[in-house]
Amino acid sequence: MHLRLSQFLTLTPNEISLLGELQKNSYAVPRNRDVIVQGYHYTSVFLLKQGAAIRYKIMHDGRRQIVNFVLPGELIGFPACLFETSLYSVSTLTEAIVAPITFDEIRALFGHSSRLAAAMFWQSARESAMYAEHLVDIGRRSAFERVGHLLLELVCRLRVIGLAEARSFDFPLTQELMADALGLSVVHVNRTFRRLRESGLVDVDGHHFVFKNLEGLAQLVDFESSYLSRFRISGLPFAD
């Protein structure tokens, strides 16, 4: 787990050891535990080494909107920690292993390798881009398309980090989570999801999701199969 930076650039041994250093204080976090709570101030971030989490926001009437899912190798509390007060909460979906990284350590890291700084920058840019995609989903797609998109996005992202097969994946995704991520009601997700199954597009057993006709689904919900490749960085506009 190298901050998933190796997706973008080849790390030098030195950089790898720097990253390894940061992870020495890993510890386990139980399921359904808030790692970051909206409204509070933080002075460190956490690398999610194992497990899954959600970034979400609770509104005054109790409704919840999940802004995205956090997968292994991604940073929790970033960029939330940059703000005076975190704008949203982050909660684990499974038991997880996190490695706290203090600002001091980040500063040192950046001093030693501006390439790593740049790489973190891209992570942030990627996240930004994914939010924009998500916005389009929620703003302009039907419930059916949204659910399809979410499933396809998850396989794609999990595949990149070796946590999914070509056409199936395991993930602690409940219908309530889908609803809160997609801006739908649980009841409607249930019906929509059933349609997906009855159409023979997807099979589910617990938390194991299988695409029985991935290409068909992708076409039906207007999912660009190049989803994640579009997030590939094209060049290094930064000094080494």
Partner DNA sequence: CGATTTCTTGATAGGGATCAAGGTCTGTGG
Partner DNA sequence: CCACAGACCTTGATCCCTATCAAGAAATCG
Q: Which residues bind DNA (CB under 7 A)?
A: 31, 142-144, 174-176, 183-188, 190-194, 206
Using CB under 8 A, which residues numbered 15 to 74 contact a copy of itself?
A: 41, 43, 55, 57, 59-61, 63-65, 67
Tell me how crowded residue 115 is: count the other CB atoms within 10 A of its CB.
20
Closer CB to a copy of itself, residue 27 or residue 131? 131
Q: 45, 88 in Cβ contact below 8 A?
A: no
Q: Which two tokens stand for residue 193?
A: 């999801």
Q: What is the CA radius of gyration of the chain?
A: 18
Q: Which two tokens stand for residue 81?
A: 């920690």
Piece of 16-24, 126-134, 165-173, 193-201 that binds a copy of itself (CB under 8 A)? 126-134
Judged by CB under 8 A, does residue 205 bind a copy of itself? no
Piece of 157-165, 170-178, 207-215, 226-234 that binds a copy of itself (CB under 8 A)? 226-234
Q: 27, 101 in Cβ contact below 8 A?
A: no
Q: 103, 4 in Cβ contact below 8 A?
A: no
Q: 29, 92 in Cβ contact below 8 A?
A: yes
Piece of 129-137, 169-177, 192-200, 208-216 that binds a copy of itself (CB under 8 A)? 129-137
Binding mask 78-97 toward a copy of itself (x if CB under 8 A, else -) reads -xx-xxxx-xx---------
Tell me how crowded residue 238 is: count the other CB atoms within 10 A of its CB.
12
Interatomic CA distance for residues 164 and 172, integer angstroms = 13
Interatomic CA distance for residues 180 and 48, integer angstroms = 22
The option from a copy of itself, DNA, none interacting with 122 (CB < 5 to 8 A, set by class) reads: a copy of itself
Closer CB to a copy of itself, residue 133 or residue 170? 133
Nearest distance from C-beta of residue 229 to a copy of itself, angstroms: 8
Nearest partner of 171 among 134, 211, 132, 218, judged by Cα: 211
Site residues for a copy of itself per CB under 8 A: 41, 43, 55, 57, 59-61, 63-65, 67, 79-80, 82-85, 87-88, 103, 106-107, 110-111, 114, 117, 121-122, 124-125, 127-129, 131-136, 138-140, 182-183, 222, 229-235, 237-239
